[in-house]
Structure 1
Amino acid sequence: MMAFIEQEANEKVEEIDAKAEEEFNIEKGRLVAEQRLKIMDYYSKKEKQVELQRKIQSSNMLNQARLRVLREGEQHINNVLEEARSHLADITHDPPRYQALLHNLILQSLMQLLEPRVSVHCRPQDAALLNLDAVAQKFYSETGRKVDLSLQPSLPSHICGGIELQAKNGRIRISNTLEARLEMISLQLLPSIRTALFGRNPNRKFDD
């Protein structure tokens, strides 16, 4: 009888040990799997952080390169325009050609103003070249409007040339000096100058 009880007790102990071992293995497996997931998640986040830092660094380097190219491009454009400015006064050394240019600039400005009385401002050294009666007659033949032109040699003598027209006691002005013309033309031609110097930008759908 005692042997039976002892055997039953031993079996019970073995059963408890087996169950405890099984529960331990299950818990150990759960903990291992849980820690494995945590480790994988940690390294996944680290990998994403490294990739993000790499992209940011690459983007910063690309932006710096673009800014450098843009600055160099603008400098080239400025050099081209500066060279053009240095040759602005060349036309004034050819009086017949320069006179025709002045008359055309006055006529163009009159077409914009369409005012009956206009003062024509020029450099003192250009006054002798201007035939305002001829310009007024040309304006009348093209528009049917009469205009009274008065000559004012008041522009600074150091500018390259050209004229400025004023009406209504100076309240309306049109500057057609050679410098003003170059500035206007350069703004219009900047996209073309960029394309000529550096080629067309494939990322730009429209010109400025």
Structure 2
Amino acid sequence: MALSDADVQKQIKHMMAFIEQEANEKAEEIDAKAEEEFNIEKGRLVQTQRLKIMEYYEKKEKQIEQQKKIQMSNLMNQARLKVLKARDDMISDLLNEARTRLATIAKDPTQYQTLMDGLILQGFYQLLEPKVTIRCRQNDLNTVQAAVQKSIPIYQAAVKNTINVHIDQDNHLPADISGGVEIYNADGKIKVSNTLESRLDLMAQQMMPEIRVELFGANQNRKFLD
């Protein structure tokens, strides 16, 4: 049975509607998949960039922390150096004051004579030479002569040997030193410096650990005392 034109047109419309519906459904499916892929890619890119930003700021934070540590270390070192300098300045001032007070020792004739006796006798023992030369300040000549006369018999009795002592009256020690003597062997190559300044320097060097403890207290970071 042949279809009428109306039936043909109706089937064509039905087929077109079906095709259009399938096309729309396909288009919606493509759009949905594209949207899903877009969201996935967008999320991946956002996550990637977020991680990069986090890594960047973590790196910056570490750099800032490192800089803070370096600055803190530098400040602590500067403070430590200032403390050490202040301590050294205090010790220098103390030694300078002690040197200034040395001049008062020679003003007491009895005390100074006793000290000179000991310095000269000690010099004899240190050299242990048969011939020695003594240099002193010009105004100490009498004090030195008296000390030599007293020290020679003590020394000779102790070492069982003689000693010839020459007091150099042409080459005096500088007048600006506080006192004491320099004693030389016969050829002048060996010297014992027993001036008051040299004795103070030696004493300060030997007693420096005790001086520092007395002034600043014990060093808690020091493991050994010798």
Percent sequence identity is 54
Alignment of 1:42-191 (within 5 A): 42-129=56-143, 130-153=146-169, 154-191=172-209
AA partner of residue 122 (structure 1): C
Q: Distance in 2 between matches of 1:103 and 1:143?
A: 17
Q: TM-score, normalised by structure 1?
A: 0.88
Q: Kindly provide the CA deviation profile for residues 64-120 of structure 1, in whole angstroms up to 9, marking residues without a partner as x.
A: 222222222222212211221111122222223222211211222222222221111
Which stretch shows the higher mean deviation, 28-37 or 58-67?
Answer: 58-67
Q: Kindly provide the CA deviation profile for residues 151-201 of structure 1, in whole angstroms up to 9, marking residues without a partner as x.
A: 124222332100101113211111110011111111222222222222223
Shift of 1:2: 4.6
Query: Is 2:212 the counterpart of 1:197?
Result: no
Shift of 1:132: 2.0
Q: Distance in 1 between matches of 2:50 and 2:183?
A: 84
Shift of 1:4: 4.5
> Which position in structure 2 is the counterpart of 1:28?
42
Which stretch shows the higher mean deviation, 115-124 or 45-54?
Answer: 45-54
Aligned length: 208
Q: Distance in 2 between matches of 1:11 and 1:142?
A: 128
Structure of greater Rg: 2
Q: Distance in 1 between matches of 2:126 and 2:138?
A: 24
Q: Distance in 1 between matches of 2:154 and 2:141?
A: 19
Q: TM-score, normalised by structure 2?
A: 0.82
SS, match of residue 65 in structure 1: helix
Shift of 1:141: 2.1
Q: Distance in 2 between matches of 1:11 and 1:202?
A: 85
Q: Distance in 2 between matches of 1:145 and 1:26?
A: 109
AA partner of residue 195 (structure 1): V
Q: CA-atom RMSD, angstroms? A: 2.1
